[in-house]
Chains A and B, each alone.
Chain A
Amino acid sequence: MLNPKFWRLVALPLILLTSCSTVSPDSDFRARLSDLYQPVDSAADVSAEIRFGRTVAARYLGGVDGVDNNLMQRYVSTLGAYLVQYSGRSDIDFHFMVVDAPTINAYAMPGGYIFLTSGALALMQNEAELAGVLAHEIAHVSEKHIVKALNIRGLSSGATLSQLASGASDAFRVALDQATDLALNILQEDGLQREDEFSADEIALFIMVQAGYAPDAYSDYLLRVSQTLGVALAQVSQTHPSFVERLDNLASVKNANGLNGLNYALLADRFKVFNP
């Protein structure tokens, strides 16, 4: 027979503890919740992501120049900084640059390095369209699509890309070179997973509307790009799902989240001041 003291000090609290646990959501609920939002990464993982992103961005900038227009660059950077406030990714500094390239595209490097081609900017008609494209790229960073595709982790997680910067063995330098090549290949040639692009489109709408921009502007821009004929269209299509699929997906997202008919900002006049 159990000692009465055992009942008082151990068994009763355990029984009560078990009953209390029914107050909290059930385990299935928790499992579903964990799928809904990103976990907070360790500082090591975030540092590794930024270091890797810097390497990829520097390599990309080795082949392209920023547009020589400080006012335009400042305008894009300020809009980007404003949109980031609504991204849920507050643990890194984002950087935005318009690069001199006739192709129609934008690129999101890990760690918050975002590039927009002058060709893509030239097709835009207002600030809301620019916000949509930047928000799409911010979403790639906030969802860590490249990071997940290449399994970039910090010291605590097995793969140790951050060790590269601490003394850099030749083996790690080779690994970083290879990972950089893979990242640039994904960004410029193969494209991310289709689901990642759809997800980034969806999140872009959420960021836009939270920031006060008309979500229809993003669809308008994608439609205009799809109607643009030539080499540039072919190049952007290589890295994204078809525009028909993307526009269909956007329409579904707008219907499901009350995003139709919102009389939000377009700001064509301000856009034209910086992009005459």
Chain B
Amino acid sequence: MKVSKSVLIALCLCMPLVSWASSVYVHSTKARLMAEPNFGATTVLTLAKGDQLELLEAQKRWAKVRLNDQEGWISTLLIKEQPPTDVISVIGSDAISLEGEARLRASDVATAGATRGLTEGEALTGDEVSDYDELLELEQQQVSDEEVQVFSESIQ
């Protein structure tokens, strides 16, 4: 019984190691799983962002993976060893999470600039040749997922 407990402890210690060593995650919104490591092969299924895959084999641009009982090849450009994070943005007034304890708010930018009588652009660059108005216009041109979906229907 005591030996069994030791075995149990050892197995518990081993499990995270084995799991860490063989899992990768899809980071693209969509990813094609191919039957062979080339795009001329049959598409086995379409993977989604965040899917956890068991890594079986890796080449330069292709990795052989398994999801549930289906195996295939995926571009290594679309997978990483850690799960995907949410979109990070520094635009607007929401708080920005920085690693560790540091946190920074966009309002701090305005405050710091305002104390010196500077606009955001001037505060950040100290020049008069940047065009932050046009940059903001560009950043406001967000394309919705629905628009992208309608757009893509003509392609495939």
Contact = CB atoms under 8 A, between A and B. Distances in A.
Contact of A17 (B14, B80, B129, B156): B14
B123 A20 contact: no
Contacts of A168: 112-113, 123-124
B143 to A, nearest CB: 4
A209 B43 CA distance: 12
Given A21-B17, A77-B141, A33 B125 contact: no
Given A17-B13, A61-B131, A166-B112, A78 B147 contact: yes
B125 A177 contact: yes
Interface residues of B, number: 85
Contacts of B61: 202, 206, 257
B82 A30 contact: no
B155 A211 contact: yes
Interface in A1-44: 8-9, 12-17, 20-21, 23-25, 29-30, 32-34, 36-40, 42-44
Given A13-B10, A90-B49, A259-B39, A58 B98 contact: no
A39 B124 CA distance: 28
Chain A interface residue number, banded:
35 or more
A219 interface: no
Given A210-B31, A262-B39, A155 B99 contact: yes
A36 B63 contact: yes
A213 interface: yes
A212 B135 CA distance: 30
Nearest to B142: A93
A57 to B, nearest CB: 6
B99 A44 contact: yes
Interface string B1-40: 0110111011101100110011010011111100011111
A93 B89 contact: yes
B75 interface: yes
Contact of A85 (B2, B28, B89, B98): B28
Contact of A32 (B58, B80, B124, B142): B58
B67 interface: no
A32 B2 CA distance: 40
Contact of B138 (A24, A50, A95, A259): A95
B96 A265 contact: no
Contacts of A73: 141
A95 to B, nearest CB: 5
Contacts of B36: 258
B69 interface: no
23 contacts: A12-B7, A16-B14, A20-B10, A36-B63, A39-B80, A44-B99, A55-B125, A55-B130, A58-B130, A78-B143, A82-B152, A88-B27, A92-B87, A113-B135, A155-B100, A156-B100, A166-B108, A212-B156, A256-B38, A257-B38, A258-B36, A261-B40, A270-B154
Interface of A: 8-9, 12-17, 20-21, 23-25, 29-30, 32-34, 36-40, 42-47, 50-51, 54-55, 57-59, 61-63, 65-66, 73-74, 77-82, 84-93, 95, 97, 113, 142, 154-156, 162, 164-168, 173-174, 176-177, 180, 202-203, 206-207, 209-213, 256-262, 265, 267, 270
Per CB-CB distance, the 9 closest pairs between chain A and chain B, nearest first, are A258-B38, A258-B40, A16-B10, A20-B14, A24-B21, A85-B29, A58-B130, A13-B10, A61-B131
